[in-house]
Structure 1
Amino acid sequence: MPLPDAAFPTDWLAEENLAEWRRHCPSARILHLPDKALLYRQGEECPYVFMLGRGIVKISCLTEQGNEWTVALLRSGDILGRLQGQTIEKTMPETARTLGEAAVVRLDLDEFVRLMSEQTRLLWQVVGTQYARRRQAERKLIDMLAKPVEIRVLEMLKELAEWFGKRCTHGYALEIRLTQQELADLVGASRPVVSTVMNDLRSRSLLDYTRELICVKDDLFDYPDKPAPLFSG
């Protein structure tokens, strides 16, 4: 008997929901993962689908030169893994690792496909997740062509604060270990240029950061969309 749409769990990590899922997906497992845990690696096969219930997962690609490029940060509610189905491409085009501690529900691909045929809400969530990631990639490409680096950094910091920030005295604390290189990858710029922008924002009291924490201050959200250049050249 299919699990009714109305009963589709919103709290993926709840034990009572997992027990219900296992009636239809015996492979379902909750995985509590440490920082930098590997979910799957670029160029290798992955027989699973992962539903991110808590934490952050970093999606990255390895270039031909051997450099890692951070493509996206996924948050609670996102779905990742072998979503290409039974296509010719069997290996994963990207690598997925946790950024800090995280918890996921892992499902076997065949069981997940069968569950989607029974669960229209889940099907639409998968479609929505993939559409959002495609739109994000398209917007990133357009922004790289049309917007200066300082604007892209400002917009990314605002997004990160809204997605992953916790309220603090001065604004939002990003309790994720995000390096300047990873931030540079996300906005499509070089690390030295992003470092210059970050330092300038800190000098203007719009941002504060250490190796462990980034604080996006409330004043940054009121910063004009087209500020004067933060640096020349």
Structure 2
Amino acid sequence: MCINSQSEKFLIAANQPSCSTITGSMPERLSKPSKRSSKPKGASMPPPKPHRPWQTLPLFNRLSSAEQDALDRQTIELPFTKGEFIFRQGDPAEWFHIVKEGTVKCVKSTPEGREVTLKVLRPGDLFCCEASAFAGSPHPGCAQAMEPTTILKIHRKTLLDVIERNPRLAIEIIQYLGDRLREVQEQAKAFALDRAEQRVASLLVDLAKKAGVSTPDGIRLTIRLTQQDLADMAGLTLETTSRIFSRFKKARWISRASRYLVIHDLPALTALANHSAPS
């Protein structure tokens, strides 16, 4: 059973220039009042099914019912509006998070003051800059809601206690962190070696896999991304990204429908991302 926090601090992102900007004291977030369902007289209602958000994650779905209950009792549920920061670069990494609803982007500020979007997270994704959370070090980046979003969070100590009692889970966590490290290495390699068009093509292919749905017109992304969002994710300037998008649209590989991106020719983008000339 998740609990709503009535004393969680929050940061408003709408008027903040950088994810690494630290502000002063902030007002407390109030939890949303729960809605009580009315039961008609004489009607029998089935008992509610236990809500176990951690069971939706492959890493934790093998835990026993008792362990799931222990996690769920310590889980806090928080709503965030579009643009709100869930945590900022440099904040202590004391919590693990799950996206319950909505979309979150992880962003890192460079020494030059530029912000690079490292990844986009969807419902069911676990995040917290996991290596930092396990080590107890500060967040190397920030997390920001891209739309109205609900986050589940649990303190690192609670989760580490569960891991200590589950050697198999500890091994899976190590493998998970290894996969994440490889993703970061591949991204760094792409930023260093790939041409701008290849980076944008690779980004679109990845988004199609993670946040795309098939439609008669092509693969439609389920999240709204501006060209600035995509430029940040590809590590490019807005001007360069706009030129590439114009070429992709002219080739009829992509288009926009109601502010959502539609991919019409995924094989062509995949070929370009793989350093091949599309047929």
Give the TM-score taking structure 2 as reference length: 0.66
Query: SS in structure 2 opposite 1:10?
Result: helix
Give the greater-gyration-radius structure (CA).
2
Shift of 1:101: 3.3
Unaligned runs of 5+ in 1: 1-6, 229-233
What RMSD in Å do the two structures reach over aligned CA positions?
3.1
Q: Name the structure 1 match of 2:227.
A: 180
Query: SS in structure 2 opposite 1:172?
Result: strand
Unaligned runs of 5+ in 2: 1-51, 58-63
Letter in 2 for 1:81: C
Confirm whether residue 152 of structure 1 aligns to residue 205 of structure 2.
no
Confirm whether residue 110 of structure 1 aligns to residue 110 of structure 2.
no
Shift of 1:94: 0.8
Measure the CA separation in 2 of the matches of 1:81 and 1:144.
Answer: 23
- 8 Å CA contact retained: 1:25, 1:115: no
Task: Map 1:161-200 onto structure 2 (within 5 A).
Answer: 161-200=208-247
Q: For 1:57-108, what per-residue CA distance to the aligned partner results, in whole angstroms no more than 9, with x for missing partners?
A: 211112344432212222344322263247473x221101122233332111
Give the TM-score taking structure 1 as reference length: 0.77
Q: How many residues in Structure 1 have an aligned counterpart in Structure 2?
A: 216
Distance change in 2, residues 1:216/1:136 (3 Å): same
Q: Name the structure 2 match of 1:227.
A: 277
- 8 Å CA contact retained: 2:115, 2:232: no
Shift of 1:157: 0.5
Task: Map 1:1-233 onto structure 2 (within 5 A).
Answer: 10-11=55-56, 21-24=68-71, 26-81=73-128, 83=130, 84-85=132-133, 87=135, 89=137, 91-120=138-167, 122-209=169-256, 212-217=259-264, 219-222=265-268, 224-225=271-272, 226-227=276-277
Percent of aligned pairs sharing the same letter: 21
Measure the CA separation in 1 of the matches of 2:209 and 2:247.
Answer: 22
Distance change in 2, residues 1:208/1:111 (3 Å): same
